[in-house]
């Protein structure tokens, strides 16, 4: 953390009243089962949970203090009105104290890939300990706050994802993060259940520019239709908007601007060379072999219509000769798509699922659709419940078969793949 870890500081910055001596603590813990002696337990409340019921367990495991919305007799605690607000306050204090560069990334697709690529480049360019990146897809309120609390004085740059399901979430998170450089990877059909339509997506995502620091950079892959919108949201800041279908150009531009902000020398050709290398992101177009030597392409991390179309384009342009684990001369003439339903598409869900199914059926020899709530007749499409797919897949696990996997997190596609490899 960026402030001295004692109870007085924690109460002051979080907004609470101390009911104990000003003692030092080791770390703030949110899961009572992870408590070690000397830690502070912060029980959080959500729609379906309230961790206050684990306070006794936290004390038993050695918590030095507990943050609580209820007064606790004869125990070290900080009394607050709202533990979620307390978490937000200390996360904001961390951001205020951080002297390094903060990069915030949002978009309908490619947030994690962009974050992983940027952090890999700068870990190579600077030192490993100079660079912080938020874990996995920690891109909601809790994930962002937890990530900010991990910043240390030795970090020179931090990369953070910002996600959304409903209007107003990008504003809330961006107001906590206050970026030096903000990135919108693209604007597409994602989270339509909460954001209604692509116009809603554009309006929501572009709020990240509102909270970018003055004199900061606003960088985006923006469709022409929304250029006026994002210009209004980014007024007074430095702006770079490029085609929303060129992720490589977007990342290269981001690298150059971050180098400028860090005052680090670079050569554009070196960046091109770096970007020509594949950056491995778990579940993002990972290529591996099954036990039966079928070629597995794991794009199971998540899914929406635009990310499916982008993946299909990559499949069509896939150069097998450049994949090291493929033996020379292998053809993989039969292509199979195992696709899971897409979540949060709202009233357009059925039409979008049908559209993606039709696209898949035109590219793949066989399409196996899991948990789809639509019906589409085509000779090469079969529909399955999740629990049936494992046994059915066995007949396709041949040496010359390519199997592509993609679906929303609810389908747990990664578990299907694990059983095969």
Q: What would the two tokens of residue 261 be?
A: 């902000």
- Residue 326: the pLDDT is 65
Strand 28-29 versus strand 40-41 pairing type: parallel
- Residue 285: the pLDDT is 86
What does the pLDDT look like over 367-411, one tens digit per residue? Answer: 999 988 887 888 999 998 888 888 888 877 777 889 999 988 778
**Domain coordinates of the chain in residue numbers?**
7-82, 98-275, 286-420
Q: Are the C-beta atoms of 121 and 178 separated by less than 8 Å? A: no
Q: pTM for this structure?
A: 0.84
Residue 27, Cβ neighbours under 10 Å: how many? 14
- Output the DSSP codes for 332-387: --EEEEEEE---S-GGGHHHHHHHHHHHHHHH-SEEEEES-S-----TTEEEE-GG
Q: Which residues contact 176 (CB under 8 A, 6 or more apart)?
A: 88, 91, 92, 95, 144, 145, 148
Half-sphere exposure of 76 (CA within 13 A, CB side): 23
Q: For residue 212, is pLDDT > 80?
A: yes
The reply to whether CATH 3.30.70.260 applies to domain 98-275 is no
Q: What are the backbone angles phi and psi of residue 88, rounded to the nearest 5°?
A: -60, -40
Q: What are the backbone angles phi and psi of residue 273, rounded to the nearest 5°?
A: -60, -40
Q: Are the C-beta atoms of 198 and 232 separated by less than 8 Å? A: no
Tell me, rounded to whole angstroms, the distance of Cα 232 from its chain centroid.
Answer: 26
> Which among 112, 186, 184, 167 is positioned nearest to 143, based on CA atoms?
112
- Edge-to-edge, what's the strand order for the sheet holding 295-298? 286-289, 295-298, 401-406, 334-340, 366-370, 381-384
What does the pLDDT look like over 115-147, one tens digit per residue? Answer: 999 999 999 999 999 999 998 778 999 999 999
- Please return the burial class of 228, using the count of CB atoms within 10 Å of its CB with bins 0-12, 13-18 and 19+: exposed
- Residue 391: the pLDDT is 80
Q: What are the backbone angles phi and psi of residue 234, rounded to the nearest 5°?
A: -105, 20
What does the pLDDT look like over 277-310, one tens digit per residue? Answer: 877 777 788 888 888 888 899 998 878 888 899 8
Q: What would the two tokens of residue 172 be?
A: 């809330």
Q: For residue 220, is pLDDT > 70?
A: yes
Residue 196, Cβ neighbours under 10 Å: how many? 16
What does the pLDDT look like over 89-107, one tens digit per residue? Answer: 999 999 999 999 999 999 9
Q: For residue 342, is pLDDT > 70?
A: yes
Hey, which CATH number is domain 286-420, 2.115.10.20, 1.10.357.10, 3.90.190.20, 1.10.3720.10? Answer: 3.90.190.20
- Output the DSSP codes for 85-147: HHHHHHHHHHHHH--SEEEEEE-SS-HHHHHHHHHHHHHHHS-GGGEEE--TT--SHHHHHHH
7-82 has which CATH code?
3.40.1390.10
Average pLDDT over the chain reads 91
For residues 21 and 393, the model is more confident at 21
């Amino acid at each position: 953390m960026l402030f001295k870890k004692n109870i007085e500081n924690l109460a002051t910055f979080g907004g609470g009243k101390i009911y104990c001596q000003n003692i030092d603590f080791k770390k703030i813990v949110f899961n009572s089962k992870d408590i070690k002696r000397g830690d502070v337990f912060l029980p959080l409340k959500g729609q379906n949970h309230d961790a206050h019921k684990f306070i006794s367990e936290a004390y038993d495991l050695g918590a030095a203090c507990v943050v609580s919305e209820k007064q606790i007799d004869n125990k070290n605690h900080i009394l607050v009105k709202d533990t979620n607000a307390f978490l937000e306050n200390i996360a904001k204090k961390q951001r205020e104290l951080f002297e390094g560069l903060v990069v915030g990334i949002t978009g309908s697709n490619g947030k994690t890939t962009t974050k992983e690529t940027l952090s890999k480049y700068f870990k190579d360019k600077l030192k490993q300990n100079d660079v912080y990146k938020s874990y996995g897809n920690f891109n909601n309120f809790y994930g962002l706050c937890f990530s900010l609390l991990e910043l240390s004085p030795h970090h020179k740059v931090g990369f953070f994802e910002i996600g959304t399901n409903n209007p107003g979430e990008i504003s809330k998170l961006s107001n906590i993060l206050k970026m030096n450089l903000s990135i919108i990877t693209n604007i597409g059909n994602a989270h339509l259940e909460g954001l209604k339509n692509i116009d809603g997506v554009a309006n929501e995502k572009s709020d990240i520019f509102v909270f970018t620091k003055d004199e900061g950079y606003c960088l985006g892959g923006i469709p022409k239709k929304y250029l006026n919108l994002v210009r209004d949201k980014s007024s007074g800041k430095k702006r770079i908007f490029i085609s929303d279908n060129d992720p490589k150009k977007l990342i290269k531009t981001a690298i150059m601007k971050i180098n400028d902000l860090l005052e680090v020398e670079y050569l554009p050709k070196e960046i091109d060379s770096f970007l020509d290398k594949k950056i491995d992101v778990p579940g993002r177009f990972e290529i591996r072999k099954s036990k039966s030597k079928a070629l597995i392409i794991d794009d199971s991390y998540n899914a929406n219509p635009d990310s499916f179309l982008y993946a299909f384009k990559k499949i069509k342009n896939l150069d097998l000769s450049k994949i090291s684990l493929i033996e020379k001369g292998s053809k993989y003439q039969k292509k199979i798509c195992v696709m899971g339903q897409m979540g949060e598409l709202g009233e357009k869900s059925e039409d979008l699922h049908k559209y993606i199914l039709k696209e898949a059926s035109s590219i793949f020899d066989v399409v196996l659709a899991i948990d789809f709530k639509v019906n589409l007749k085509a000779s090469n499409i079969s529909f399955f419940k999740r629990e049936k797919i494992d046994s059915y897949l066995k007949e396709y696990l041949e040496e010359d078969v390519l199997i592509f996997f993609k679906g929303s997190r609810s389908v747990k596609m990664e578990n299907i793949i694990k059983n095969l490899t």
